[in-house]
Amino acid sequence: MKGKPLLPAQRLHALKRALQKSKQRQLFQHMLQCNPLLFVLALLSCLLLSQVYSQWPIYAQYTLLLCAPVFIFVLGFVRPSYRQITYANLAKDLNRRFSTLEESCALLFMVEDNTSSLGLTPEQSLTSLQRLQFNRSANALDNLIHTKDVDLAARYPLKVPIFINIATGLVCFILWYFVAGNPQSWIGQSEHASLNGQANSTSVKADRLASIITAQLDVTPPPYALGINGYTTHQTHALDAQVLAGSQATWRIDLSARQSQYSLKFSDNDSLALTQNADGIFTGSKVIHRSSVYQVLDEKQRVVAVHTLMVTADEAPKITFIAPQATITEIPSYAEGTKPVVYTQALIKDDFALGKVEIIASVAKGSGESVKFRDSVFTFDTVQSIAGEQVYNKSWDLVALGMAPGDELYFSIRAWDNRQPDPQLSRSSSKIVRWLDEDTETVFSEGTLVDNMPAYFKSQRQIIIDTKALIANEAILNDPEFKQTSGELGIAQADLKHKYGQFVGDEISGIVHTMEGGANTEQFDQDNHEEHADDEKEDEHKEHSAHSKPDAMDKSGYQTAIEQFGHAHGETDVAIFKTQDTIEQNPRVMMKRAIGYMWQAESQLRLNRPQDALPHEEQALLWLNRAKKAERIYVKRLGFEPPPVSEKRRYQGKLDDIENNVQQHPTVQNDSNIQALQRLIALLNAPMQSTMPFNNDELAILQDANSRLQNMLDEDPNVIRILALLAQIESAKQRHPTSCELCAERLQAQLWQLLPPAQSSPAQLRRPYSNTQPAIKHYAEFLRIKEHP
């Protein structure tokens, strides 16, 4: 389209505009070409810089991301392709693109240059031919300028850069999404790449369990124990400590992750929150009364560490009588001028210190139903310190106490220690002082008052004397005499054994009579006892019968009356109730033991071995004397032997109220501690389940065992170690926690030591054949026919 011809200035302005536009386009292309680099740079800064070099603050990353584009933009101006955008190159480009310029666009620029710089007109600066061409080109250029669709500026291809940008952008986005979205894998690699293991910063996304760097436990014992037995204030212990009950424990723990909250959880479900000091150390304080296992937990209740606190209990005072040793002290009736005085001396000690010590005494006066008791409280006369121990002394003047012959004094010692706030009380055993009357010295035996010392108490001693004499004379006596004497001693021992046997209720051979039958008139069998002189039969111990006469045993007719009117209820139990740290107290059992030793002695004597019999004889005498002096005097009467029940008399009487009865016990509960521990040890031991986590039932077993062990802690403080191991396993909910791989094995070993030997139970034999096998059935039938043809 033809328009008005432009002025040279207008023409120049259009060309300048085209030049600037070309430069802009070139810069734009340059930025597009460099944009992928920016994408990659952004991705790298997002992933690596922020995660590996975590100290880099965020703004530094932003600064980097802003400076990069600016730098690249500035770089565009320096780029050669940009610097080549000149009028000359523009003219060349126009000539190439528009053929109407007839390759003469440079002519236009040259004329303009001459006009602007030299002030020459086109007619003056150009030749005629150039002028002619100039006019033609100027017209063509003017037409181009007027044409709106024509773009004089140079064109730079953008398709490829745009495509590369899109592709790079997608790739970087994908990488950023999948990798940056799972930072742990990068963290794992970056931690390997890091040169030093540094503490986690707040930017660390992984939930790492804290660890204890340093720890200290300050223990202050209770005030009453200070200065005694080495207990001082602020004693430093490790986290697994043994402290006195009532001590104040203060924890100071330095943990790797100081930004979290921590607490201590004790096995009695008590919890103690730790507070953080200005120096970052976590502290907490608690008064400890009983042994426990405690765990250090973080704010997410995860177990950081497990430790034990074993408590040493303050023991109660111990009272030991030095004098009198015997429970019953008998004071004989005194003659004129002598005073009835009893000395008492006791050793009383405590692990720390004693508080109060007193004597509780009762005086019993009178007899039968008119007995009167008078209680009093006394103190010791003197306290001596012998070899660092406190010995308390007291002398009892029976007359001063208002006692008379026939009265009794009972006293015991009470002692308190200095424990605060509740002192512990110990009470000694009771002692009895018996002031005897003038006329009778009685022997109490099983509640039956025996006036005179029975002759048979001396016989055992006589047997011993005779045995010793026989041993001494063995070289002098010839063989038949020796054997005869030994046999006679054996017979005497057998007689004595039978006599004592009556008192402990042993059935005597030959007594089978009932109440209907009346008094017993049968004589004992007079069996001939066989001599055991034959060497071939020395090893046999044949039974021998009692050959003593019955008349000698029942002098008062007492036995006869019992036989006539009484009836036997059968043998009763002989139970041994041993008190701790004391000897046997049951006189019946002592008598039985003495009889047992008499058996042994008799057998040895009959085998002509008096030297082997002598120890048994002495033991028998020892136990007889102990029975005589037994502490329990109010026991079942001896010597009562009712006759056995006859079948005719059995189940007589009114039977209307006796009915058939049915009792059902679906399950015998035997849920003892031992069974709980056995279940626990079986649970830990399962070799095929060592890697499996615990299910709910198994966790219940662990908890049950835990609670039972807690209860056992007071009796056995060593259980604390078991509780510590169990706590670790329970918290990890698996047999082999990562923090303690050997916990299960160690716990099993500890439990094994705690368990008693297993009790035997009913069992069946596993025979390698089955009762249902045809061959076995035929054999059984064969046996049956053979037995019953």
Q: Which of residues 665-684 bind another protein (CB under 8 A)?
A: 665-668, 670, 678, 681-682
Smaller CB separation from another protein, 469 or 780: 780
Give dist(CA 19, CA 7) in Å, integer: 18
Kindly identify the residues of this chain, within the stretch 630-659, that bind another protein according to CB under 8 A: 647, 651, 655, 658-659
Note whether 467 and 617 are within 8 A (CB): yes
* Contact letters for another protein, residues 376-405 (x by CB under 8 A): ------------------------------
Q: Which residue has the tokens 């019968």?
A: 545
Smaller CB separation from another protein, 360 or 508: 508
Smaller CB separation from another protein, 279 or 787: 787
Element housing 264 (H / E): strand 263-266
Note whether 705 and 680 are within 8 A (CB): yes
**Checking DSSP bridges between strand 263-266 and strand 292-297, what pairing results, if any?**
antiparallel
Give dist(CA 47, CA 49) in Å, integer: 6
Smaller CB separation from another protein, 7 or 686: 686
**Continuous H helices in 473-566:** 479-503, 550-553, 558-565
Element housing 252 (H / E): strand 247-255
Kindly identify the residues of this chain, within the stretch 321-360, that bind another protein according to CB under 8 A: none
Give dist(CA 480, CA 789) in Å, integer: 57
Q: How far is the CB of 731 from another protein (least distance, A)?
A: 21
Q: How far is the CB of 768 from another protein (least distance, A)?
A: 6
State phi, psi for 495 to the nearest 5 degrees: -60, -50
Smaller CB separation from another protein, 479 or 647: 647
Kindly identify the residues of this chain, within the stretch 547-586, that bind another protein according to CB under 8 A: 571, 573-576
CA nearest neighbour of 470 among 614, 617, 616, 620: 614
For the chain, the first-to-last Cα distance in angstroms comes to 146
Kindly identify the residues of this chain, within the stretch 685-704, that bind another protein according to CB under 8 A: 685-691
Give dist(CA 643, CA 637) in Å, integer: 16
The CA-atom distances, in angstroms, between 376 and each of 323, 405, 683, 776 are 20, 20, 60, 83
**Continuous H helices in 518-609:** 550-553, 558-565, 587-606
Q: Among residues 230, 421, 557, 768, which is the contact residue for another protein, using CB under 8 A?
A: 768
Q: Give ∠ CA 735-741-746 in degrees, rounded to 5.
A: 75
DSSP codes joined into one string, 50-82 = HHTSTTS-HHHHHHHHHHHHHHHHHHHHHSHHH
Burial 272-298 (b: 16+ CB within 10 A, else e): bebebeeeebbebebebebbbbbbbbb
Q: How far is the CB of 747 from another protein (least distance, A)?
A: 10
Give dist(CA 194, CA 186) in Å, integer: 12
Smaller CB separation from another protein, 375 or 571: 571
Q: How far is the CB of 219 from another protein (least distance, A)?
A: 31
Q: How far is the CB of 623 from another protein (least distance, A)?
A: 10
Asked if residue 785 binds another protein (CB under 8 A), the reply is: no
Q: Among residues 181, 368, 480, 762, which is the contact residue for another protein, using CB under 8 A?
A: 762
Kindly identify the residues of this chain, within the stretch 455-514, that bind another protein according to CB under 8 A: 507, 509-510
Smaller CB separation from another protein, 458 or 541: 541
* Contact letters for another protein, residues 224-253 (x by CB under 8 A): ------------------------------
Q: Among residues 205, 208, 549, 784, which is the contact residue for another protein, using CB under 8 A?
A: 784
Kindly identify the residues of this chain, within the stretch 525-544, that bind another protein according to CB under 8 A: 525, 527, 539-541, 543-544
Kindly state the DSSP code that residue 48 receives in the 8-state scheme: I
Smaller CB separation from another protein, 218 or 612: 612
Q: How far is the CB of 46 from another protein (least distance, A)?
A: 39
Smaller CB separation from another protein, 389 or 525: 525
Q: How far is the CB of 603 from another protein (least distance, A)?
A: 10
Smaller CB separation from another protein, 396 or 623: 623
Asked if residue 67 binds another protein (CB under 8 A), the reply is: no
Q: Among residues 55, 385, 660, 738, which is the contact residue for another protein, using CB under 8 A?
A: 660
Counting Cα atoms < 13 Å in the Cβ hemisphere of 644 gives 10
Note whether 577 and 617 are within 8 A (CB): no
CB-based burial label for 237 (10 Å; 0-12, 13-18, 19+): middle
Q: Which residue type does 346 have?
A: A
Q: Among residues 193, 387, 449, 765, which is the contact residue for another protein, using CB under 8 A?
A: 765
Note whether 405 and 311 are within 8 A (CB): no
Smaller CB separation from another protein, 369 or 571: 571
The CA-atom distances, in angstroms, between 748 and each of 85, 135, 294, 435, 712 are 88, 112, 21, 60, 17
| 3-class SS of residue 214 | strand
Q: How far is the CB of 69 from another protein (least distance, A)?
A: 55
Smaller CB separation from another protein, 455 or 688: 688
Smaller CB separation from another protein, 394 or 616: 616
Give dist(CA 56, CA 44) in Å, integer: 13
Asked if residue 764 binds another protein (CB under 8 A), the reply is: yes
Kindly identify the residues of this chain, within the stretch 178-207, that bind another protein according to CB under 8 A: none
Q: How far is the CB of 473 from another protein (least distance, A)?
A: 28
589 Cβ contact partners less than 8 Å away, ≥ 6 residues apart: 574, 576
State phi, psi for 394 to the nearest 5 degrees: -155, 140
Smaller CB separation from another protein, 104 or 514: 514
Q: How far is the CB of 557 from another protein (least distance, A)?
A: 25
Tell me, by CB under 8 A, how many residues bind another protein. 75
Q: How far is the CB of 484 from another protein (least distance, A)?
A: 24
Q: How far is the CB of 737 from another protein (least distance, A)?
A: 14
Smaller CB separation from another protein, 265 or 592: 592
Smaller CB separation from another protein, 43 or 621: 621
Q: How far is the CB of 553 from another protein (least distance, A)?
A: 17
Q: How far is the CB of 343 from another protein (least distance, A)?
A: 38
* Contact letters for another protein, residues 46-65 (x by CB under 8 A): --------------------
Q: Which residues pair with 218 in a beta bridge?
A: 236, 250
Kindly identify the residues of this chain, within the stretch 726-755, that bind another protein according to CB under 8 A: 748-753, 755
Q: How far is the CB of 446 from another protein (least distance, A)?
A: 20
Kindly identify the residues of this chain, within the stretch 593-622, that bind another protein according to CB under 8 A: 593, 596, 599
**Helical pair 610-628 and 456-472, crossing angle rounded to 10 deg:** 160
The CA-atom distances, in angstroms, between 672 and each of 23, 679, 714 are 96, 11, 17
Give dist(CA 453, CA 448) in Å, integer: 13
- Segment contacting another protein (CB under 8 A): 305-313, 371-379, 425-433, 762-770? 762-770
Smaller CB separation from another protein, 438 or 741: 741
Q: How far is the CB of 523 from another protein (least distance, A)?
A: 14
CA nearest neighbour of 727 among 312, 311, 308: 308
State phi, psi for 102 to the nearest 5 degrees: 55, 40
Q: Give ∠ CA 332-335-340 in degrees, rounded to 5.
A: 55
Q: How far is the CB of 693 from another protein (least distance, A)?
A: 13
